[in-house]
Structure 1
Amino acid sequence: MAETDRSVLDEAWGRIPHTRDVQTEQGAFTQTRIERVITLIVGPGSLVLGAQAFAAAFGGSVDEAQGWHTPLVLAVFIPLVAMIVACTVNRFARVFSGVFAIVFVLALAVWPLATAGGPAPVPTENPWIFYLVNVATVSTVVAFPLWMQVTWTVATPLLFGVVRLLQAGGRPEFVVPVILDVTFALILGSVLLTLVWMYRSIAANVDQSRALAVASYASAAATAASEHERVAVAALMHDSVLGALLAADRASSPRERTLAVSMAREALTRLANAEKDSLEGSDEPVRALRLADDIEIAARELGIELTVVRRVEEGTPRVPGRIARALVLAAMQAVANAVQHADAQGLTVELTGGSAPGGVAVRVRDSGPGFDIAAVPPDRLGIRGSIDARLTAVGGRSDIDSSPAGTTVTLEWESGDRW
Structure 2
Amino acid sequence: MSVTAGSVAPAAPRADPPGPERFTEARVERIIRLVVALGCAVLGAQSFLNAIGSTQEDAAWHIALMVGTFAPLALMILALVTGVWARAASGACAVALLVVFACWPLATRGIASSPHEQPWIWYLINVACAAAVVAFSLPVQIAWATIAPLTYAVVRLAQVGTADEEMISVVLDAVFAMILAGLIIALAWLLRSMGRSVDQARGAAVESYAAAAAADAAESERIAVAALMHDSVLAALIAAERATTPREEALAVAMAREALTRLANAEQDAREGSDETVPAASLAGDIERAAAEAGLELQVASHVSDDAPPVPGRVARAVVLAASQALANAAQHATGRGVTVTLAADARALAVRVADAGTGFVPAEVAHDRLGIRGSIVARMAAAGGRGRVQTGRTGTTVLLDWEYPS
- Asked if 2 retains the 8 angstrom alpha-carbon contact of 1:308 and 1:348, the reply is no
Distance between the aligned counterparts of 2:20 and 2:404, measured in 1? 42
Q: Which amino acid aligns with 1:398?
A: G
Q: Which residue is equivalent to 1:138?
A: 181
Q: Offset at 1:34?
A: 5.0
Give the secondary-structure state (helix, strand or coil) at the position aligned to 2:298. Answer: coil
Q: Which amino acid aligns with 1:95?
A: P
Q: Which amino acid aligns with 2:139?
A: V
Q: Which runs of structure 2 are paired with 1:241-280 in the superposition (5 Å)?
A: 241-272=233-264, 274-275=267-268, 280=273
Does 2:198 align with 1:220?
no
Does 2:342 align with 1:351?
yes
- Among 298, 301, 304, the alignment partner of 1:306 is 298
Identity %: 35
Distance between the aligned counterparts of 2:173 and 2:100, measured in 1? 10
Q: Offset at 1:42?
A: 7.7
Q: Identify if the C-alpha distance between structure 1 residues 237 and 140 changes in structure 2 by more than 3 Å, giving closer, same or farther.
A: farther
- Among 324, 328, 333, the alignment partner of 2:325 is 333
Distance between the aligned counterparts of 1:22 and 1:411, measured in 2? 49
Q: Which runs of structure 2 are paired with 1:148-163 in the superposition (5 Å)?
A: 149=186
Q: Offset at 1:33?
A: 8.4
- Asked if 2 retains the 8 angstrom alpha-carbon contact of 1:262 and 1:302, the reply is yes
Q: Identify if the C-alpha distance between structure 1 residues 117 and 412 changes in structure 2 by more than 3 Å, giving closer, same or farther.
A: closer
Q: Which residue is equivalent to 1:385?
A: 375
Q: Identify if the C-alpha distance between structure 1 residues 20 and 392 changes in structure 2 by more than 3 Å, giving closer, same or farther.
A: farther
- Asked if 2 retains the 8 angstrom alpha-carbon contact of 1:370 and 1:402, the reply is yes
Q: Which residue is equivalent to 1:170?
A: none
Q: Which residue is equivalent to 1:400?
A: 390
Distance between the aligned counterparts of 1:224 and 1:266, measured in 2? 24
Q: Identify if the C-alpha distance between structure 1 residues 128 and 229 changes in structure 2 by more than 3 Å, giving closer, same or farther.
A: same
Instruction: Name stretches of at least 5 consecutive residues in structure 2 with no aligned partner.
Output: 1-12, 34-85, 116-124
Instruction: Name stretches of at least 5 consecutive residues in structure 1 with no aligned partner.
Output: 1-18, 66-76, 143-148, 150-192
- Among 336, 343, 361, the alignment partner of 1:371 is 361
Map Cα deviations across residues 234-291 of structure 1 (whole Å, 9 max, x no partner): 435544x334223212323221111111222333444455436685146233143x33
Q: Offset at 1:139?
A: 4.0
Distance between the aligned counterparts of 2:377 and 2:22, measured in 1? 46
- Among 253, 277, 282, the alignment partner of 1:284 is 277
Q: Which residue is equivalent to 1:8?
A: none
Q: Which residue is equivalent to 1:411?
A: 401
Q: Which runs of structure 2 are paired with 1:107-146 in the superposition (5 Å)?
A: 118=163, 121=166, 127=170, 130=173, 133-134=176-177, 136-142=179-185
Distance between the aligned counterparts of 1:46 and 1:310, measured in 2? 75
Q: Identify if the C-alpha distance between structure 1 residues 310 and 58 changes in structure 2 by more than 3 Å, giving closer, same or farther.
A: closer
- Asked if 2 retains the 8 angstrom alpha-carbon contact of 1:27 and 1:208, the reply is no
* Farther-moved stretch of structure 1 (203-212 vs 383-392): 203-212
Q: Which residue is equivalent to 1:161?
A: none
- Asked if 1 retains the 8 angstrom alpha-carbon contact of 2:153 and 2:174, the reply is no
- Among 111, 114, 138, the alignment partner of 1:94 is 138
TM-score by length of 1: 0.59
- Asked if 2 retains the 8 angstrom alpha-carbon contact of 1:53 and 1:132, the reply is no
TM-score by length of 2: 0.60
Q: Offset at 1:399?
A: 0.5
Q: Which residue is equivalent to 1:155?
A: none
RMSD of Structure 2 on Structure 1 (CA)? 5.0
Q: Identify if the C-alpha distance between structure 1 residues 32 and 414 changes in structure 2 by more than 3 Å, giving closer, same or farther.
A: closer
Q: Offset at 1:196?
A: 7.2
Distance between the aligned counterparts of 1:58 and 1:200, measured in 2? 42
Distance between the aligned counterparts of 2:394 and 2:352, measured in 1? 22
Q: Which residue is equivalent to 2:352?
A: 362
Distance between the aligned counterparts of 2:271 and 2:360, measured in 1? 30
- Asked if 2 retains the 8 angstrom alpha-carbon contact of 1:50 and 1:132, the reply is no
Give the secondary-structure state (helix, strand or coil) at the position aligned to 1:381. Answer: coil
* Farther-moved stretch of structure 1 (33-42 vs 379-388): 33-42
Q: Offset at 1:343?
A: 2.7
* Farther-moved stretch of structure 1 (42-51 vs 322-331): 42-51
- Asked if 1 retains the 8 angstrom alpha-carbon contact of 2:339 and 2:354, the reply is yes
Q: Offset at 1:212?
A: 4.0
Q: Which residue is equivalent to 1:7?
A: none
Distance between the aligned counterparts of 1:321 and 1:103, measured in 2? 65
- Asked if 2 retains the 8 angstrom alpha-carbon contact of 1:316 and 1:354, the reply is yes
Q: Identify if the C-alpha distance between structure 1 residues 233 and 407 changes in structure 2 by more than 3 Å, giving closer, same or farther.
A: same
Q: Identify if the C-alpha distance between structure 1 residues 203 and 275 changes in structure 2 by more than 3 Å, giving closer, same or farther.
A: closer
Distance between the aligned counterparts of 1:57 and 1:378, measured in 2? 97
Q: Which residue is equivalent to 1:293?
A: 285
